[in-house]
Amino acid sequence: MTAPATQSVRADLMDPQTLAALGRLEVISRWVVDGLLAGLHRSPKKGFSVEFAEHRAYQPGDDLRFMDWKVAARADKWLIKQYEEETNVRATVVVDVSKSMDWKSRPNLLTKLAYAERLAAALSLLLIRQRDSVGLIRFDDQLRSVVPPRSRSAQFKRILTALADPGSGMGSDAAGALAQAGKLIRRRGIVILISDLLLDAKEIEDTVHALRAQGHDVTVLHLLDPAERQLDLSAGESLFVDPERGDSLAVTPADVRDLYAATVNEAIDEWRARFSAAGAFYEPIQTDQPFGVPLRRAFAARQRLS
């Protein structure tokens, strides 16, 4: 499937909702990455080494140089060692799929979760095309999916399959998910968190400190619905409900507009300060922003480690 003829701008610069309506997750990801790479100056490294990846059963005609003779002698199993290219970077994309992510303020917007899924898919494909090794973790109050980093072409399919899994836990164990991400990367690499950050600040700050101590580059993409930045004043008295805890509060938006805006800005400034102190890179992203904005931030993280 090719990009639509009506597309007048690169896909990575298009309105997310409009773009999402044009095709499946896999197709959209390819369009977005094609658009982004068209706008980047690329200078991939040459000459990669290889490292052991996994075994597979011996088949007639296989090169016996790659036979695992130790396993054959010990277990009488004929297995071939498969290798993969040693990549520029190893990365794990960590996606929050908790209840608060499955929300949008208007019908013509993507939910934070839908935006995160498309962003994670495009980001994974971007890294794979750069010959990097990428994995995926999805979490709510527990780990929902763990896909170890790989750089093979089949890895993108694995990530797409994981993104299609359900998840709607009431809480967000981001600290546990980030710690698991660090374990999946055996050498210095990248951890990218995609979340609305409705979670415990101290726990995540401590975990980011630990990841940085291990030498990993950490990038946090803070997803926000536009209504979370600025209240819709056209609404009358509204009932605001915490989707994870169930707390509710009746408020007339016009009465609290200025206080709300100040509080949100303070929260964003606090997150920025916390992550900066921990040595991480932080970017607030609204779900009506083109995917190219957060992708360029994440790509900058890759360039720092290349």
Of the candidate CATH numbers 3.40.50.410, 3.30.43.10, 2.120.10.30, 3.90.550.10, the domain formed by 11-42+88-305 belongs to 3.40.50.410
Position 151, amino acid: S
Q: Which two tokens stand for residue 153?
A: 């072409």
pLDDT at 53: 58
d(CA 259, CA 52): 57
pLDDT at 42: 46
Long-range contacts of 52-60 (CB under 8 A, 24+ apart): 52/81, 52/82, 52/83, 53/82, 53/83, 53/84, 53/150, 53/152, 54/82, 55/79, 55/80, 55/81, 55/82, 56/80, 56/82
Burial class (CB in 10 A: 0-12, 13-18, 19+), 153: exposed
> What ranges do the domains of the chain cover?
11-42+88-305, 50-85
Pairing of strands 217-224, 238-241: unpaired
DSSP 24-73: -HHHHHHHHHHHHHHTS---------EEEEEEEE--TT--GGGB-HHHHH
Position 302, amino acid: R
pLDDT at 153: 78
Q: What is the mean pLDDT of each run of 10 residues along the chain (306 residues)?
A: 57 94 94 87 43 66 74 80 65 95 93 97 93 94 94 92 84 94 90 94 94 95 93 58 59 68 91 95 96 87 70
Position 41, amino acid: H
Residue 102 backbone dihedrals phi, psi, to 5 degrees:
-90, 60
d(CA 8, CA 5): 8
d(CA 248, CA 228): 16
pLDDT at 116: 97
Position 78, amino acid: W
Contact 34, 305 (CB under 8 A): no
Contact 84, 95 (CB under 8 A): no
